[in-house]
Amino acid sequence: MKTTKSCALSDTNSSTHRSSLFALTLLGAAIFSATSAHASGMLMQEATVANAGTAGAGDGVYTQSAAAIWTNPATMSHMGESKTTVNTLLLDLEMEYTDSANNGDAKGHTVMPSIGVFHAMELEEDLHLGLALGAVGGSSISYGNDWAGANALDEVTLTVLQFNPSLAFRIDDRWSVGAGAMLSWASLEQTTAMLSPEQDTDKSAGFNFGVMYKHSDTWSIGASYRSKVEHNFSLGLGNLFPASPLSNSISTDLSVPEIIDVSGQYALTQDLNLLASVQYHRWSSMDNTAMDFGAGTGILDIERSWSDTWKFAVGTDYRLNADWRLKAGFSYETSPQDDSSMQWVDLPVGEQYRYTLGAATNWGENTIDFFYEYTDLGSVEIDRNHILLGGNLNGTFDGRMHFIGMNVTF
């Protein structure tokens, strides 16, 4: 027979465990927030784009910038003995949430720099080595703790860097192939209205390869593949719940999807080049956000049910005179999730539109490329009921990004 004291202790522990479980699961809502500049149409490729003035159109065959080796390592075979490119840019991200029930709106605004460094060099007549380092994702955004979803998301910062060494082999004057290894490092830090977990970092790896066919200076075509890279984080909570059997850390993962790119270039006239790219991002693998904190249950996981996405980019590169080239581009990306009941506060996703302008000039033997990009993240409706939200969240997210940058090739 249990004593009153034992019953009271049991009830206290049960209550503590339930509180611990709920508080810990609130943390999971912030895990993917940093991917607001990383996922799908918001995959932040700008720091690794070779021809940002054309919205990245034709990057898989663009040989005037060493950054093209990121998209397609086979491009190195047409870059000469040596080429180095440094991409620099400034990102201005703004996300707004409007609550339909007037339970609290939110606005997050972030300004941050990014950089990419790329080098291609000839080892032998038909063999090139490429070294690339770039930020493939990351952002920092804060909504504060007064909005309707504050218990699920307050502030988050994510950085994903990749080092990508590669080799390219020229088969003949028209055909070349290339392959490389992707070494990825990621850092994640986030808070909710209730919890401030510790920052964690992770390392991972993947691979990429590509092929390019250059028929002549008039036209060329290329195809490439980048593998999925997955990062696993264990975010410490300190000794927050010493009486609980649950772990004082939460484990989750972050995926950079597989990307297939097909690019082409066609010289319509001696001065005007037309460029195009089609990309396939395999986001269907992101069907669920698992949260593991030692409870042995997945009932509080966040269902995503994302679909694969397509990105279409077109651009023009016009030689104005001996010193200047003018560029313009546009890209459209499909949405991985159109169901408002499946959207989530950390990563509202929809269709993406990018508009770019650029200009390039020569400075001695160096090329300086300026660009501006406006990204319309659109309006994304959310109508989600989940225990992490404490009820139903109904409202609209609106987002946009500005990019301004300068790339130097020497």
Query: Side-chain half-sphere of 237: how many Cα atoms within 13 Å?
Result: 25
The Cα 210–Cα 59 span in angstroms is: 12
Contacts for 378 with CB less than 8 Å, ≥ 6 apart: 350, 351, 352, 353, 398, 399
| Collapsed DSSP state (helix, strand, coil) of residue 231 | strand
Q: Which amino acid is at 175?
A: W
How many domains is the chain partitioned into structurally?
Answer: 1
Q: Which of 182, 222, 230 is nearest to 206 (CA)?
A: 182
CA–CA distance, 226 with 229 (Å, rounded to integer): 9
DSSP state at residue 291: -
Distances (CA, A) of 189 to 54, 142, 197, 410: 33, 12, 7, 37
Residue 3 near residue 129 (C-beta atoms within 8 A): no
Max CA pair span of the chain:
95
Count Cβ atoms within 10 A of the Cβ of residue 70 and give its class: 0-12 exposed, 13-18 middle, 19 or more buried: buried
Per residue of the chain (410 residues), give pLDDT as tens: 444 434 443 444 443 333 333 333 333 333 333 333 333 333 567 889 999 999 999 999 999 999 999 999 999 999 999 999 999 999 999 999 999 999 999 998 888 888 999 999 999 999 999 999 998 766 677 788 888 877 777 777 778 899 999 999 999 999 999 999 999 999 887 776 666 677 889 999 999 999 999 999 999 999 999 999 998 887 777 665 555 555 566 677 778 889 999 999 999 999 999 999 999 999 987 777 766 665 555 666 778 889 999 999 999 999 999 999 999 999 999 999 999 989 988 778 899 999 999 999 999 889 999 999 999 999 999 999 887 777 889 999 999 999 999 999 99
Q: Which residue in the block uniquely carries the two structure tokens 């309707």?
A: 148
**Angle at alpha carbon of residue 105, lines to 103 and 107, rounded to 5°:** 160
Residue-level pLDDT at 312: 98
Residue pair 134/371 in contact by the 8 Å Cβ criterion: no
Q: How far is it, in rounded angstroms, from Cα 195 to Cα 193? A: 6
Instruction: Tell me how far CA of residue 81 lies from CA of 84, 119, 130, 165, 307, in angstroms.
Output: 11, 11, 12, 17, 42
What's residue 192's pLDDT? 65
Question: How would you label 21-53 residue by residue, b for 16+ Cβ within 10 Å and e otherwise?
Answer: bebbbbbbbbbbbbbbbbbbbbbbbbbbbbbbb
State the residue range of the domain holding 10. 4-409
What's the length of the chain? 410
Q: How many CB atoms lie within 10 A of CB 373?
A: 24
**pTM of the predicted structure, to 2 decimals:** 0.86
| DSSP letters spanning 105-133 | -EEEEEEEEEEEEEEEEEEETTEEEEEEE
Give the domain CATH number at 170. 2.40.160.60
Positive or negative: CA dihedral 53, 56, 61, 67: positive
Q: Using alpha carbons, list the distances in angstroms from residue 72 to 53, 122, 344, 399.
A: 18, 16, 34, 30
276 is written with which tokens?
A: 């195009």
Kindly report each contact of residues 240-243 with a partner whose C-beta sits within 8 Å and lies 24 or more positions away, as own/partner: 240/20, 240/23, 240/195, 241/16, 241/20, 241/23, 241/24, 243/13, 243/16
What DSSP string runs through 313-353?
Answer: EEEEEEE-SSSEEEEEEEEEE--S---GGG--TT-----EE
